[in-house]
């Protein structure tokens, strides 16, 4: 496939074969880092971050540096020309002349669609509001595949904010590509998964159930994907305060969980996973960030045609 001006906006922009290829590549990067350490020499990556995101931005930058490439960009709209009123379209048109690959995070949903219409180099969406965040899903998939050995035959529990949690929707969309998975959706009524996402589960004919109880669901799970109730997704502070502490994972709640459960979280964590859980070998959320970096390395290589 010609990736010379390809845009990855949504996880579904990558085929199943491409996802598998990227995961294989990430595994090879882990085994043979020296093989890749100079692959991106003389290549430049721009990280255009219109809103703060320490981990995602540094993960991309670390990924590019580990491939021998260089990085430039901005972190926060106030330090970019957006503060002077420059449009996304103009910024992307200019940046396309400077770098080999563009990564952008923007608080407004659909900003990457605008970017994709103007870029002349490969483009990666690093999150657009509550909409899409494909490289987080790449991290999630690799973590599940490495900890479970496969992306099939898994009972996946998704817990917390299933309404606004973009990572949850993208993970479901991607996991539906793989057979024999079961989904348990754990949330309060106010943060239930949207109908359009439920429609996808129904259309795929997979087994799924909705519940409010984390305790009841936990013994069945192979993977537990915890999410944060995000303050920035609420218009009303009262609703946020009422719902933010509704699910907190503690060592006690894990007593009935399987011995080989994998606990994932897209981070940052606020208090929905007690720090006492961090020592549990089933806690994979910090390992997930390593998987994220390696998947970003794989994606950069693939989009630049340097994966072979």
Partner 1 sequence: MNVDGIENGIVLDHIKAGKAMLVYKYLQLDKLDSQVALIQNCSSRKMKRKDIVKISEDLDIDLDVLGYIDSGITVNYIKNGKRVEKKTLSLPETLTNVLKCKNPRCITSIEQELPQVFKIVDRNKALYRCTYCDTIVRNEELS
Has 56 been annotated as catalytic?
A: yes
Cα Rg, the chain, nearest whole Å: 19
Instruction: Answer yes or no: are the C-beta atoms of 6 and 123 closer than 8 Å.
Output: yes
Has 55 been annotated as catalytic?
A: yes
Cα distances (angstroms) measured from residue 200 to each of 37, 135, 168, 207, 284: 40, 21, 13, 12, 27
109 belongs to the binding site for partner 1 (CB under 8 A)? yes
Cβ neighbours around 245 below 10 Å, total: 11
From 55, 212, 253, 258, the catalytic residue: 55
Least Å from the CB of residue 114 to partner 1: 6
Has 84 been annotated as catalytic?
A: yes
111 belongs to the binding site for partner 1 (CB under 8 A)? yes
Looking up tokens 């199943």 gives 16
Q: Which stretch binds partner 1 (CB under 8 A): 17-25, 101-109, 145-153, 181-189?
A: 101-109
Select the residue interacting with partner 1 from 130, 192, 197, 211 (CB under 8 A).
Answer: 130
What the block records as the tokens of 73 is 């960009």
Select the residue interacting with partner 1 from 69, 129, 160, 292 (CB under 8 A).
Answer: 129
Least Å from the CB of residue 88 to partner 1: 7
Select the residue interacting with partner 1 from 33, 41, 108, 180 (CB under 8 A).
Answer: 108
Instruction: Answer yes or no: are the C-beta atoms of 186 and 211 closer than 8 Å.
Output: yes
Cis peptide before 268 (omega within 30 of 0): yes
12 belongs to the binding site for partner 1 (CB under 8 A)? no
Looking up tokens 């994972």 gives 249
88 belongs to the binding site for partner 1 (CB under 8 A)? yes
Q: Which stretch binds partner 1 (CB under 8 A): 102-110, 185-193, 215-223, 269-277?
A: 102-110
Q: How many residues does the chain have?
A: 308
Chain centroid to Cα 216, Å, comes to 27
**Which residues of this protein are in contact with partner 1, per CB under 8 A?**
87-89, 106-111, 113-114, 128-131, 196
* Residues involved in catalysis: 55-56, 84, 105, 133
């Amino acid at each position: 496939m010609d990736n010379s001006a390809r845009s990855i906006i949504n996880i579904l922009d990558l085929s199943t074969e491409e996802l598998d290829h990227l995961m294989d590549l990430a595994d090879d990067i882990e085994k043979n880092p020296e093989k890749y350490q100079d692959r991106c020499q003389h290549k430049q990556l721009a990280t255009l971050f219109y809103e703060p995101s320490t981990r995602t931005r540094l993960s991309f930058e670390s990924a590019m540096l580990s491939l021998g490439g260089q990085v430039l960009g901005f972190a926060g709209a106030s330090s970019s020309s957006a503060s002077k009123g420059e449009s996304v379209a103009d910024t992307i048109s200019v940046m396309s002349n400077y770098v080999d690959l563009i990564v952008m995070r923007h608080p407004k949903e659909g900003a990457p669609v605008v970017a994709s219409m103007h870029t002349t180099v490969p483009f990666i969406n690093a999150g657009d509001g509550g909409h899409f965040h494909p490289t987080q899903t790449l991290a999630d998939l690799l973590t599940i595949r490495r900890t479970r050995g496969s992306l099939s035959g898994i009972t996946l529990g998704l817990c917390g904010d299933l309404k606004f949690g973009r990572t949850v929707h993208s993970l479901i969309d991607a996991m539906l590509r793989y057979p024999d998975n079961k989904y348990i959706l754990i949330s309060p009524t106010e943060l239930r998964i949207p109908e359009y996402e439920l429609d996808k589960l129904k259309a795929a004919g997979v087994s799924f159930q909705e519940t409010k109880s984390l305790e009841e669901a936990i013994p069945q799970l192979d993977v537990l994907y915890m999410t944060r109730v995000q303050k920035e997704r609420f218009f009303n502070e009262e609703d946020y305060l009422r719902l933010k502490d509704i699910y907190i994972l503690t060592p006690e709640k894990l007593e009935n969980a399987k011995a080989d459960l994998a606990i994932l979280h897209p981070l940052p964590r606020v208090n929905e996973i007690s720090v006492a859980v961090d020592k549990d070998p089933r806690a994979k959320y910090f390992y997930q960030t390593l998987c994220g970096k390696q998947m970003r390395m794989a994606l950069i290589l693939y989009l630049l045609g340097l994966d072979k």
